[in-house]
């Protein structure tokens, strides 16, 4: 090296520049995921096996005990497959969003991120962006795959409406995950909380059985579970005749939960990060 002034590479600043950083996170996590090919493949196999399991359970269930959608009777697998997909989506997204920042902390890269001119929100979003893209795609592919393999009667025409509801639901899960990421940053442990939260949400969602089977008061509570609202609306779209208008109504019901969840989650995360800076313990794990 010779002593001459550097020519500094041009840099961008501002909100748009922050958005422009997000693809870098996506690329990083895609390359990382591809480097773990075995885990990538076995995740898919596990999901397929779950569908097979519910296929055989479905052989024992009387379709008459299940609700009908748009006047159509459904099989148990058709009923459960949307619950499996959404339940899996919720558990996976919650776990990964919660673990994203924790993994950075464990790898020692969190501090490297925080000393760059990147806002904590961009870091938080960037850390989960891959999963926010991958998990819904995985869910959609799972539904298509099981429909083809098990001959399920899911309506392709209902897919846009189902995706609309899913889009309204994603910020809800994201917010919970971010809030938990903040708790993990503070308390260093949080996998148990995520598992417990996902279990409660799924239990009260009607994913595997109709909510009518719950005790009356619990069934009433469950009607306000955003996951239950999402699953019910997606069933109406994919198994019944519900259209985009119905989906918009459902999305309007889900969105307030999502807004509160996301804003609350980001607030908790920022508080946790500020606390870590104050205590000087960001790098500890």
- Report the Cα–Cα distance between both ends of the chain, in Å, rounded: 39
Q: Considering only CA atoms, which of 66, 94, 89, 92 is closest in space to residue 143?
A: 89
Binding residue for other proteins (CB under 8 A) from 53, 62, 91, 108?
108
Tell whether residue 30 is a contact of other proteins (CB under 8 A): no
Tell whether residue 28 is a contact of other proteins (CB under 8 A): yes
41-76 burial code (b ≥16 CB/10 A, e <16): eeeeeebeebbeebbeebeebeeeebeebeeeebbb
Which distant-in-sequence residues (6+ apart) come within 8 Å of 50 by Cβ?
84, 88
Tell whether residue 188 is a contact of other proteins (CB under 8 A): no
Using the contact rule CB under 8 A, the part of the chain among 47-55, 112-120, 131-139, 192-200 near other proteins is 112-120
Binding residue for other proteins (CB under 8 A) from 4, 38, 45, 192?
4
Minimal distance in Å, beta carbon 9 to other proteins?
4
Tell whether residue 283 is a contact of other proteins (CB under 8 A): yes
Using the contact rule CB under 8 A, the part of the chain among 91-99, 101-109, 198-206, 254-262 near other proteins is 101-109
How many residues sit in the footprint of other proteins (CB under 8 A)? Answer: 41
CA distances to 68, 147, 243, 265 from 154, rounded to whole Å, are 13, 7, 14, 34
Minimal distance in Å, beta carbon 271 to other proteins?
15
Q: Considering only CA atoms, which of 272, 23, 266, 29 is closest in space to residue 134?
A: 29
Tell whether residue 31 is a contact of other proteins (CB under 8 A): yes
**Contact, 19 vs 125, CB < 8 A?**
no
Which is nearer to other proteins, 9 or 137 (by Cβ)?
9
**Dist. CA 110–CA 154, nearest whole Å:** 43
Residues forming contacts to other proteins in the complex (CB under 8 A) are 1, 3-6, 8-13, 17, 20-21, 23-25, 27-28, 31-32, 35-36, 107-109, 111-119, 277-280, 282-283
């Amino acid at each position: 090296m010779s002593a001459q002034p550097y020519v500094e590479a041009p840099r961008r600043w501002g909100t748009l520049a922050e958005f422009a950083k997000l693809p870098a996170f996506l690329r990083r996590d895609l390359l990382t995921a591809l480097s773990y090919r075995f885990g990538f493949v076995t995740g898919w196999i596990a999901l397929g096996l779950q569908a097979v399991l519910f296929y055989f359970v479905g052989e024992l269930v009387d379709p008459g005990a299940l609700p009908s959608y748009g006047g159509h009777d459904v099989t148990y697998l058709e009923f459960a497959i949307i619950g499996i997909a959404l339940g899996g989506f919720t558990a996976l997204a919650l776990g990964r969003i919660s673990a994203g920042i924790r993994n950075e902390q464990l790898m020692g890269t969190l501090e490297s991120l925080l000393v760059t001119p990147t806002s904590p929100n961009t870091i938080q979003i960037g850390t989960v962006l891959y999963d926010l893209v991958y998990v819904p795609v995985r869910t959609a592919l799972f539904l298509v795959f099981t429909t083809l393999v098990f001959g399920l009667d899911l309506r392709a025409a209902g897919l846009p409406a189902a995706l609309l509801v899913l889009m309204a639901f994603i910020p809800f899960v994201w917010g919970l995950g971010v809030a938990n990421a903040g708790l993990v940053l503070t308390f260093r442990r949080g996998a148990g909380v995520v598992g417990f939260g996902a279990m409660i949400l799924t239990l009260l969602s009607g994913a595997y059985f109709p909510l009518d089977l719950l005790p009356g008061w619990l069934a009433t509570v469950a009607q306000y579970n955003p996951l239950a609202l999402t699953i019910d609306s997606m069933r109406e779209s994919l198994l019944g005749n519900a259209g985009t208008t119905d989906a918009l109504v459902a999305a309007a019901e889900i969105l307030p939960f999502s807004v509160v969840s996301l804003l609350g989650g980001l607030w908790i995360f920022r508080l946790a990060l500020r606390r870590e800076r104050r205590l000087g313990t960001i790098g500890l794990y």
